[in-house]
Amino acid sequence: MNPTAEQLTDWDKRYVWHAFTQMACYEPLIIESAEGCELIDIEGRRLLDGVSSMWCNVHGHRHPKLDQAVKDQLDKVAHVTNLGCSNSTAILLAKRLAEITPGDLNHSFFCSDGASALEVAIKLAFQYWHQCDNPRPKKTTYIGFEDAYHGDTIGTISVGGVDQFNAVFKPLMFPVHRLPIPDRRVPDEASACTYHLRILEESLEKHHEAIAALVIEPLVLGAAGMIVQPPGYLRGVRELTKKYNVLMIADEVAVGLGRTGTMFACQQEEVVPDILCLGKGLSGGYLPMSAAIATTEIWNAYLGEFSEAKQLCHGHTFGGNPLGSAVALATIDLFDEEKTLKQLPPKVARITEHLAKLKKHPHVGDVRQRGMIAAVEIVRDKVTGEHFPWTERHGHQVCQFALKHGVWIRPLGDVLVIMPPLSVSLEQIDQLCEVIGAGIDAVTKGKDASR
């Protein structure tokens, strides 16, 4: 006998511990199935998936080709370890990634999620400096950015900078050289790139002998509030890290796989990092799958006789899982078969049109966009940029309004994220943005914008 909706709701609140959620306040939303860009809950209600099920769904839910890829792989093998063993599907995926990533990013270390890929990258960079041709064992620290988010392991919260998440764990974290968030608006759009690169160079000039790597989300800092970097900044970062002999780790877990309009965000400024991390959309949002992809120079530093103990002593039980690898290969194939990237410009333009309208709202302080990633920031005072008290949860209130009007989104504080699957239609973009606008109207109605 199948459980009732009431039973599932009760059990969800009683037994499931949800991420980043105060369980005493949690109100369940239970999804039973999905189709295309829509989620279907246990009551049969259809909801537009406005944030790609946490930024990971690429080609839509229940895509026939992706479903079939999983089914076909199940007829072969569901899982084998990659510790001293391999499987043909993971091998094909590694080869395909070497072919489509920029430069000589030819060597994939497979993991289960974005945080674990970043954790690998952090360790790869550290160990590299101990055993490369010109060892620099004093390179033991990193450059990270304020409000950056790279995951929730001890290593990734250390290089990350979200104090709200990390404060209680400070005693466990290692020190990092922390730079201001490279916001295109600071100090102003005309000088932002030069300003932030100067700050970076000052830090590198002073500390480069101790810095193993810089960790950055290219073009857009996601959980920081979808903060868009100034044009040219990423390219400048790559030039400076090379100048000062520091590795560059590009966290494309959220911004990779077409989100910014190109397959990889780094390609927009012709940057090749030393290590590229992928996750979320790598499997189309179907299965846990991520990768830390290193250049041949990094790879070579780990080669040697067994007695030299140069291997990376790190691994995951489900790294290189055949099911995840199969759907990842199919996801990449779909970019070619459906010409996904070529379909994006009209969608990007439609989002831009809606953002221009939303920007005029008296309680919208800023709108941001890079490709299919966009955000709307709610403020109390448009002139000063003053926010509402965070405890009032205006962003959450807008999301609750949207839920009642057929759209599922999740905020970053009072920043509303617009990040639907790349397969979204123009009509669905209209629905998503119009509901957000109506939600802001409803939540801020009667509040003095000049306060």
Over the stretch 383-406, which tens digit does the pLDDT of each residue have?
Answer: 999 999 999 999 999 999 999 999
Q: Does 410 count as an annotated binding residue?
A: yes
Residue 197 pLDDT greater than 70, yes or no: yes
315 annotated binding-site participant: yes
- pLDDT at residue 1, rounded to an integer: 79
pLDDT digit string, tens, across residues 256-306? 999 999 999 999 999 999 999 999 999 999 999 999 999 999 999 999 999
3-state secondary structure the chain: CCCCHHHHHHHHHHHCCCCCCCCCCCCCCCEEEEEECEEEECCCCEEEECCHHHHCCCCCECCHHHHHHHHHHHCCCCCCCCCCCCCHHHHHHHHHHHHHCCCCEEEEEEECCHHHHHHHHHHHHHHHHHHCCCCCCCCCEEEEECCCCCCCCHHHHHHCCCHHHHHHHHHHCCCCEEECCCCCCCCCCCCHHHHHHHHHHHHHHHHHHHEEEEEECCCEECCCCCEECCCCHHHHHHHHHHHCCCEEEEECCCCCCCCCCCCCHHHHHCCCCCEEEECHHHHCCCCCCEEEEEEHHHHHCCCCCHHHCCCCCCCCCCCCCHHHHHHHHHHHHHHHHCCCHHHHHHHHHHHHHHHHHHHCCCCEEEEEEECCEEEEEECCCCCCCCCCCHHHCHHHHHHHHHHHCCEECCEECCEEEECCCCCCCHHHHHHHHHHHHHHHHHHHCCCCCCC
Task: Quickly state the pLDDT bin for 21 (edges 50, 70, 90).
Answer: very high
> pLDDT per residue over 137-183, tens digit each?
999 999 999 999 999 999 999 999 998 888 899 999 999 999 999 99
Q: Where are the domains positioned within the chain?
A: 5-58+342-444, 67-337
**What's the CATH superfamily of 5-58+342-444?**
Aspartate Aminotransferase, domain 1 (3.90.1150.10)
What pLDDT was estimated at residue 449? 57
pLDDT more than 90, % of the chain: 96
For residue 151, say whether it is annotated as part of any ligand binding site.
no
Q: Is 295 annotated as a binding residue?
A: no
Same fold, 5-58+342-444 and 67-337: no
Residue 447 assigned as binding residue: no
Mean pLDDT of 328-339: 98
* pLDDT tens per residue, range 63-81: 999 999 999 999 999 999 9
Count the alpha carbons within 13 Å of 209 in the hemisphere toward its beta carbon.
Answer: 2
Mean pLDDT, rounded, for 346-375: 97
- pLDDT, tens digit, for every residue of 100-125? 999 999 999 999 999 999 999 999 99
Q: What's the confidence (pLDDT) of residue 451?
A: 43
At 200-231, the pLDDT tens digits run 999 999 999 999 999 999 999 999 999 999 99
What does the pLDDT average to over 331-357? Answer: 98
**Would you say residue 347 has pLDDT above 50?**
yes
What integer is the mean pLDDT of 310-330? 96
Contact 145/178 with Cβ under 8 angstroms?
yes
Does the pLDDT value for residue 362 go beyond 50?
yes
Is 280 within any annotated ligand binding site? yes
Output the CATH code of domain 67-337: 3.40.640.10
